[in-house]
Amino acid sequence: MLMFNLFIRIILLLLPMTLLLPLMASAGIYRYVDQQGRIHFTNVPTTNKFLLYRNEGEPQQLETLITHFAQKFRLDRSLVKAVIKAESDFDPRVVSSRGAQGLMQLMPETAREVGVTNPFDPSESIYGGSLYLRKMLDSFDQNLDYALAAYNAGPGAVRKYGGIPPYEETQNYVRKVKQYYDFYSQSKDVF
């Protein structure tokens, strides 16, 4: 009888956990639109303002966010992917030696400039990085090389040198992003 009671207690303790397993196993993207019309995405909703947007795994979540913000800021999604690949290799937790953070490696000043409060949140990082990339393209008359150089070294350096600065890192960065851009343009569903 003692063994039976112990068995029942174990079952009663484990039952709630087994009911939660399907919920824990399914990944989801949640979103809400704030009063300014800005869309917020998260995989961990913190308030009831967030509604389920899409269930899926991490690559599909990133694909959805990239597509959304690329469209919002009139960018080719392959270009956004290429910048993410060059900046962070799709690791949302990475911090550079100079302090750039998240998927799109936003410096704290740049993050503030584009309204990003958590650069480690993929949604905020892709939003901020895409907005900043659009600003750089607009600042340099849609010249992709100059915009990428400005994304890497800052728009002041591009203006100072009248083009891509003579920094090896920046020159390599522009070359690398363009190679990734070509690759993603040919194989759109790959990370």
* Burial group, residue 56, by CB count within 10 angstroms (0-12, 13-18, 19+): middle
Which regions of 59-145 does DSSP assign to beta strands (E)?
none
* Burial group, residue 25, by CB count within 10 angstroms (0-12, 13-18, 19+): exposed
Domain CATH for 85: 1.10.530.10
- Predicted confidence band of residue 61 (pLDDT cuts 50, 70, 90): confident
94-114: pLDDT as tens digits: 999 999 999 999 999 999 999
Q: Is residue 1 part of a domain?
A: no
Q: Is residue 3 part of a domain?
A: no
Q: Is residue 2 part of a domain?
A: no
Q: Is residue 13 part of a domain?
A: no
Q: Is residue 18 part of a domain?
A: no
156-190: pLDDT as tens digits: 999 999 999 999 999 999 999 999 999 999 986 66
pLDDT at 10: 55
Q: Are residues 70 and 130 in contact, defined by beta-carbon separation less than 8 angstroms?
A: yes
Q: Is residue 156 part of a domain?
A: yes
pLDDT at 20: 40
pTM of the model: 0.70
How many domains, the chain? 1
- Predicted confidence band of residue 56 (pLDDT cuts 50, 70, 90): low
Portion of the chain with pLDDT greater than 90, in percent: 64
Q: Is residue 9 part of a domain?
A: no
Q: Is residue 62 part of a domain?
A: yes
Active site residues: 87
Question: Which range of residues forms the domain containing residue 154?
Answer: 27-186
- Predicted confidence band of residue 191 (pLDDT cuts 50, 70, 90): low
